């Protein structure tokens, strides 16, 4: 029997085939899950509907991908409409993946001290508060043994130059994970997060991931970067019944980078070049 046989869920925030959310969703689909998806709304003047098309390119290959709808998490009405669609399709859902974050590029490029007030509010609303809003809206359709997962990053735990305002948003998100785990615990719902190492994604490109790949490869105990597939398997573990005793946790899938207190072997390589 496949791991997600009979399981139904929602995946919010796939952007394209390189998204971490898609790596997790793809693994769950192949393990038997039925999933409803959201995509970033297209602009009214975008006749090609690029956002929808990018996600549909992934989901159209799976009969168990049951629907694909637009979602702007700044709108409680749209969040409610997505949950209503999930209720119509599935009745209840067994898992929910939230993979949504955004900050104005100008604010990402600025030093954190120069973050604009409006940019901060927007980044925090979309990247952190949306997790609360989505969980609250889903509360009544979550099964009694359900799992909610979000995506964070080490820049919320330590200062990562260049991550800037998004690091503050991830710190808030990390805390939200713990508080939602407490709030939803009596219902049997678990709430966790994955903190992945740098991967080449649409969001990662905006945050300067390319510059981080060599650093992680040099410093991580495994002396390499992680893959989309590794993060996908870890995400499906946390969404599945296999992790039914785990809640309020941040699982680092980063080849061990987060445990290092020094540059490790990267420093040895640097010194040998001097």
Per residue in 142-160, pLDDT tens?
A: 999 999 999 999 999 999 9
Of residues 78 and 211, more confidence is placed in 78
pTM for this model (two decimals): 0.93
163 is catalytic: yes
Of the candidates 163, 179, 182, 257, the residue annotated as catalytic is: 163
> Which structural domains are found in the chain, ordered by start?
8-198+226-256 (3.40.50.720)
- Please state, in angstroms and rounded to a whole number, the distance separating the CA atoms of residues 79 and 68: 13
Give the number of residues written for the chain: 274
What are the CA-CA distances from residue 204 to residues 101, 200, 219 (Å)? 11, 6, 19
Secondary structure class of 10 (helix, strand, coil): strand
Of the candidates 153, 179, 216, 257, the residue annotated as catalytic is: 153
φ, ψ (nearest 5 deg) of residue 181:
-60, -40
What is the DSSP pairing of strand 65-70 with strand 8-12?
Answer: unpaired
216 is catalytic: no
H or E element that contains 239: helix 228-239
Percent of residues, the chain, with pLDDT higher than 90: 83
Q: What angle, rounded to 10 degrees, do the helices at 130-138 and 165-184 form?
A: 20
């Amino acid at each position: 029997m496949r791991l997600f046989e009979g399981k139904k869920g929602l995946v919010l925030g796939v952007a394209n085939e390189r998204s971490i959310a898609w790596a997790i969703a793809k693994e769950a689909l192949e393990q038997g899950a039925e999933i409803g998806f959201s995509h970033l709304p297209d602009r009214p003047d975008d006749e090609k509907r690029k956002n929808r098309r990018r996600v549909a390119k992934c989901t159209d290959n799976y009969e168990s991908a049951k629907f694909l709808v637009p979602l702007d998490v700044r709108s409680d009405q749209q969040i409610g409409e997505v949950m209503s669609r999930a209720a119509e399709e599935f009745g209840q859902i067994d898992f929910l993946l939230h993979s949504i974050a955004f900050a104005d590029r100008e604010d990402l490029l600025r030093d954190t001290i120069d973050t604009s007030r409006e940019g901060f509010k927007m980044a925090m609303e979309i990247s952190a508060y949306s997790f609360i809003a989505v969980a609250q809206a889903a509360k009544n359709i979550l099964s009694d043994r359900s799992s909610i997962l979000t995506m964070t990053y080490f820049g919320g735990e330590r200062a990562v130059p260049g991550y800037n305002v998004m690091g503050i948003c991830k710190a808030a998100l990390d805390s939200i994970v713990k508080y939602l785990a407490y709030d939803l615990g009596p219902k049997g719902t678990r709430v966790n997060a994955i903190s992945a190492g740098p991967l080449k994604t649409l969001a990662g490109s905006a945050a300067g991931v390319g510059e981080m790949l060599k650093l992680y490869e040099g410093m991580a105990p495994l002396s390499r970067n992680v893959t989309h597939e590794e993060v996908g398997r870890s995400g499906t573990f946390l969404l599945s019944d296999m992790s039914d005793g785990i809640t309020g946790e941040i699982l680092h899938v980063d080849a061990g980078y987060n445990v290092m207190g020094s540059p490790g072997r990267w420093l040895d390589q640097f010194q040998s070049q001097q």
